[in-house]
Amino acid sequence: MPNRLANESSPYLLQHQDNPVDWQPWGEEALAEAARRDVPIFLSIGYSACHWCHVMEYESFENQAIADYLNEHYVSIKVDREERPDLDQIYMNAVQMLTGRGGWPMSVFLTPQLKPFYGGTYWPASAARGMPGFDQVLAAVVDAWQNRREQAEQTAMELTEKIQSLALPERREQQLDGPLLVGACERLERDFDPQHGGFGGAPKFPQPMNLQALLRGWQRTGRQALLDMVTTTLDKMHAGGMYDHLGGGFARYSVDERWLVPHFEKMLYDNASLAVAYLEGFLAADEPRYAQVTRETLDYVLRDMTDPAGGFYSAEDADSEGHEGKFYVWKPEQIRSVLGETDADLFCRVYDVTPIGNFEGQNILNLPKSIDQQAQLLKLDPADLSQRLAAMRQKLLAERAKRVRPGRDEKVLVNWNGLMIDALARAGAALSEPRYLDAARRAADFLLAELSPKPGRLLHTWAGGRAKLNAYLDDYAALSGALISLYEATFEERYLDAAGGLLDTVLERFTDPASGSFFYTSNDHDELITRTLELTDNATPSGASLATTALVRLGKLTGNEAYLAAADRALQASASMMERVPIAMGQMLVALDLYAGPTPELVFTGPDAKRLAESTHRRFLPRRVIACRPGSGGGGDAPGSPLLTGTFSGRDAAAESRLYVCENHACQAPVEGSEAIVARLKELTEER
């Protein structure tokens, strides 16, 4: 008989509905039961694509004896970390304090007052591999609760106080300028892996926000070493097995330092952020290969991760048929059966497929040498070789589609969808791909219709036709930034109005007046043991850095001083961390770059304005905002967004197209005529 997760919409929670554990979702009913029975809460947090979450489920949560013990002595609550990142943040801090490490599945024991007193990650059902058994852990916690209650509650109180004191910004007035960004890039250089690209050793995670920060440091200084760090990383990540060479898209991270063996799950947020990093790499380095990776990554999302309603799914599992990576790996004979001997020999040489294999006796496709290098060694034309390999990849992709696919988490999250809409809007404009813009519009319209119960407010998640849960800071921030990008790509002003409404909510309901930064939860959110400030990037950009970036962009575009003042306060709150730990502050460094300027405001009017404005997207101009009205912009009386009244005031359309270049309330003389405008844009691209 299903437990109380059966009525949930989260695919992860529904995976556990038939466990003999009497799971409950987080909510008033479960918390009241723990208080009434005076028993500890066992809080288990995971997500659908998590390999070890699946392992712990079939080892422990499907074990009848363990389930009976949990049901007798605990209230067991199962949480999808992607639905409730607020709970995940709080209790992950507790686990890291207790054990020195974190991860998922996360297992935390709480008092009925929600204070943590013990925790960890994965435990086997019984003692094994040097780890205590989950059965032993459960019994020890019950013993402590029943026989050493005062000590357990003292631990809970002390741990809660430590959690509440975390991440308090070290605020001091500081010059928010280019040298702060350049200094951070120099510190990133010390952590760089010159052999394999990226930062640090194994396991190695892509850090696209830091690559974007390095590109801005290079654009300011002209230091080739900074650009080389980016291109080396982009090349190595794409060549490795972390990239899906058949279907496009990236796995979450590499278990080794050279990007070869991935943890095979694919997350929407990684593919959104990496698509932007490769797009910016293409624009900065003029390397067509990076544009191809951007296209293949976005095509994967449109093909495999898009809901018919328009939103984007969250993740694909690492496992299929109970084995990690089974969907993706190959043996030479499988490739020969599809391609024939001659083509298979060529493909296996290029993509490192051998009888021995590179992963548990099978092969993860990767490129030890680039296709150009292979063409030179084989004395083949690089273009011809690329074309032949592309045809082979399509045949193998079709064959792979016959396999049992990994599970897919089909919930739609606003924050991750915002990142993907942003990527599609930027790529659609820069690569002249209308289908990317269409997908971005469709997803944005879906979110604003289905997950915005009233203007300026959002819900966090949608699945099975139901939207629920009060949205978090990164929902508002990521979607507002995406809507600004969608405006700049299409010049449809309704998206700018929607972005402004979301940022007004951020300022009203998320601002921390003491620090100037932003709380992760709104002031009308569920009351938890603490209200966190999320300052540092993790796998995704922090909500505070996304909010700051969006505030700078909309402030510069509209001249709204309230947005710019809020961004200034948030940057000051993070300035010390940008100095000390820039590796965790990539997105805030992007915001800093835009705020510090020079940030030209490019305003286009006239008959050819839209075409000229669109051309700016094909240049690497990381510090700029764009507005465009092909018709009249005069006097603030023209229809359109009230946010742009001042931007277009006094700028009537003339017979010729015009470009107004302004900065900090000062404008240069308008540039008139298409040829002159193109020349001025070229000058802006070359300026540092």
DSSP 396-457: HHHHHTTSPPPPEE--EEHHHHHHHHHHHHHHHHHTT-HHHHHHHHHHHHHHHHHS-SSTT-
Q: Are 431 and 296 in contact (CB under 8 A)?
A: no
Domains 11-164 and 178-321+409-596 share a fold: no
Q: Residue 215: its pLDDT value, please?
A: 98
- Which two three-digit tokens encode residue 368? 């030890």
Q: Residue 644: its pLDDT value, please?
A: 94
Taking CB atoms within 8 Å and a gap of at least 24, the contacts of 287-291 are 287/231, 289/238, 290/234, 291/431
- Which two three-digit tokens encode residue 513? 């007046």
- Which two three-digit tokens encode residue 665? 């309330």
**Distances in whole angstroms, Cα of residue 142 to Cα of each of 40, 74, 116, 147, 163:** 8, 9, 14, 8, 24
Please provide the distance, in angstroms rounded to a whole number, between the alpha carbons at the two ends of the chain.
Answer: 66
The CA distance from 595 to 675, in Å, is: 30
The CA distance from 235 to 564, in Å, is: 37
Q: Which residue, among 420, 452, 444, has the nearest Cα to 305 in the 3D structure?
A: 420
Q: Which CATH class is domain 178-321+409-596?
A: mainly alpha
Q: Residue 534: its pLDDT value, please?
A: 85
Phi then psi dihedrals of residue 356, to 5 deg: -75, -40
* All residues at 6 or more sequence positions from 675 whose CB lies less than 8 Å from its CB, including other chains: none
**Distances in whole angstroms, Cα of residue 358 to Cα of each of 262, 317, 362, 626:** 12, 21, 6, 48
Q: Residue 637: its pLDDT value, please?
A: 42
Per-domain residue ranges of the chain: 11-164, 178-321+409-596, 328-402, 601-686
Fold of 11-164: Glutaredoxin (3.40.30)
Q: Residue 667: its pLDDT value, please?
A: 84
Q: Residue 172: its pLDDT value, please?
A: 66
The CA distance from 69 to 135, in Å, is: 9
- Compute mean pLDDT per 10 residues along the chain, 688 residues long, and list them: 92 95 96 97 94 92 97 97 95 92 93 96 90 94 96 94 76 83 96 95 95 97 97 98 98 96 96 98 97 98 98 95 94 98 97 96 97 95 96 98 96 98 98 98 98 96 95 98 98 97 98 94 93 92 98 96 97 94 97 96 92 95 94 51 90 82 85 92 84
Q: Residue 167: its pLDDT value, please?
A: 54
Scanning 178-267, the segments in alpha helix (DSSP H) are 178-191, 208-221, 224-239
Region of 207 on the Ramachandran plot (φ > 0 left; ψ -120 to 50 alpha; else beta): beta
Q: Residue 1: its pLDDT value, please?
A: 77
